[in-house]
Amino acid sequence: MLLLKGARCIDPRVGLDAITDILIRDGSIAAVGADLPVGDDGLGTDRPLIRDLSGRVILPGLMDMHVHLREPGQEYKEDIASAARAAAQGGFVAVLAMPNTQPVTDSASRVAFVLDKARYVGVTRVHVAGALSRDLAGESLAEIGDMYKAGAVAFTDDGRGLQDCGLMRLAMDYVHQFACPVLSHCELESLVGSGVVHEGIVSTRLGLAGWPAAGEEIQIARDIALAELSGCALHIQHITTAVGLKLVREAKERGLPVSCEVTAHHLFLNENDLNATYDTNLKMNPPLRTTADNQALQEALIEGLIDVVASDHAPHAAHEKALEFERAPFGCTGLETTLSLLLTELVGLEKMSYQRLVECLAHAPRRILGLEEVGIVAGSPADLTVIDPGVRWQVEAENWQSKSANNAFIGQQLQGRASDVYVRGIPSMIEGTVCDV
């Protein structure tokens, strides 16, 4: 038994926001309240371990529903074990693995490989998204039903947009029978071409090929229309533009099964952060957009139009990011900074409540993916994230749990970070130190 004492516990789903205690027994929350009866069980064997967490904030365990584990195939960038530790360091109890591994996670055996390996590694709960199309080639359906039976909870060709409209319709029709969402990376390749940065100020200044906002928005509009046609739940990944948000708003107002996510880098960085140093850690897909988009995304997140914040954790080795900007791979790491960025830029500045934070990092991802709910309530799995809101820290170029250091926020001062993480009542991080299992 474990008793977490003295922290401010917040779970909007049960209307909880109070300094109270949480009693954990056998991996579940046994009770929540002040002065819990935790005394001797009469046999002298059931005394709880007590942790005083005064000054901390406890939230339902956070989940990152957009993570590239890189295993199998690119273990030099990241593997399941290092990603699991990075997740714990960043305050997450669970992640959703994207299927663009090598080989692609497009069959039941490959789904099973990731789930088995993650179970062996422990530390963090790993869920798996299977590929929509075989080998992510966008030509024919992958064995979606078999992957579903093996435990895949969502389907996506993330990393690429699915170009063929007819195939996307087939995929959404087909996935619909399993009541799973299709996660859509929206990128119209015939329009985006070789674009590497937002088409506008930065493409002009740096002489780089533009990745126009319309290349994303056209596919958002298409996929919303297909969600209506198929009835399949659609989750727009890493949305970046104000126009895209309008499309999502209109779809939601019409009652369509549409949700969306935003990354920390699209919330807080924009094209003006790119300059003549050609920092490849700022090369993203979709690209960093405009200051006006930053503003629209933040407002939409606070309002609840954006359902989820996800990291799109995309580790790449130093030698890959040291290439010329146009040759370097897209993406940045985010597991270890996303929560702190939200705490620093939104919650700490009182632009967003902890309640919204819990919604977008804990409840919404699980609801969208149809996963077991977690909460600060008796009977829930004891998946908890403990935050130290007072700690100030600087994002450093090294010392990551992730194998890769391609973070977009290096040098930035942040306030607040996860101090402890519990997964099924077992700590994956204690006082900022990730626990070896």
98 — alpha (psi -120 to 50), left (phi > 0) or beta?
beta
Cβ of residue 112: shortest distance to another protein, in angstroms?
A: 36
Nearer to another protein, 189 or 373 (CB): 189
Which residues, at least 6 apart from 205, have a Cβ–Cβ distance to it below 8 Å? Answer: none
Positions of E strands within 49-115: 49-52, 57-60, 62-67, 92-97
Cβ of residue 73: shortest distance to another protein, in angstroms?
A: 20
Q: Token digits for 313?
A: 């954790």
Q: Which residue blocks in 211-254 are alpha helix, DSSP H?
A: 214-230, 242-253
Give residue for tokens 């090369």. Answer: 283
Nearer to another protein, 21 or 271 (CB): 271
Q: Name residue 323's amino acid.
A: L
Active site residue 420: no
Cβ of residue 181: shortest distance to another protein, in angstroms?
A: 34
Cβ of residue 267: shortest distance to another protein, in angstroms?
A: 23
Nearer to another protein, 14 or 191 (CB): 191
Cβ of residue 313: shortest distance to another protein, in angstroms?
A: 25
Nearer to another protein, 146 or 326 (CB): 326
Burial code (b: 16+ CB inside 10 Å, e: under 16) for 79-101 equals: bbbbbbbbbbbbbbbbbbbbbbb
- The DSSP H or E segment spanning 428 is strand 426-430
Nearer to another protein, 78 or 271 (CB): 271
Dihedral sign for Cα atoms in the order 27, 30, 33, 36: negative
Q: Token digits for 39?
A: 């005394």
**CA–CA gap between residue 311 and residue 365 (Å, rounded):** 12
Yes or no: say if 436 and 37 are a contact pair by the CB < 8 Å rule.
Answer: no
Site residues, another protein (CB under 8 A)? 199-201, 203-210, 212, 276-278, 319, 322-327
Cα→Cα distances 312→98, 209, 240, 348, Å: 9, 23, 13, 23
**CA–CA gap between residue 30 and residue 183 (Å, rounded):** 35
Cβ of residue 408: shortest distance to another protein, in angstroms?
A: 17
- 381 upstream amide cis, omega within 30 of 0: no
**CA–CA gap between residue 18 and residue 244 (Å, rounded):** 37
* 3-class DSSP assignment, residue 111: helix
Nearer to another protein, 60 or 195 (CB): 195
The DSSP secondary structure of 200-221, one letter per residue, reads: THHHHHHT--EE-THHHHHHHH
Nearer to another protein, 142 or 213 (CB): 213
Cβ of residue 292: shortest distance to another protein, in angstroms?
A: 14
The C-alpha angle 372, 376, 381, rounded to 5 degrees, equals: 40
Cβ of residue 54: shortest distance to another protein, in angstroms?
A: 47
Q: Residues 157, 158, 312, 383: which is the catalytic one?
A: 312
Nearer to another protein, 76 or 393 (CB): 76
Among all residues, which ones are annotated catalytic? 312
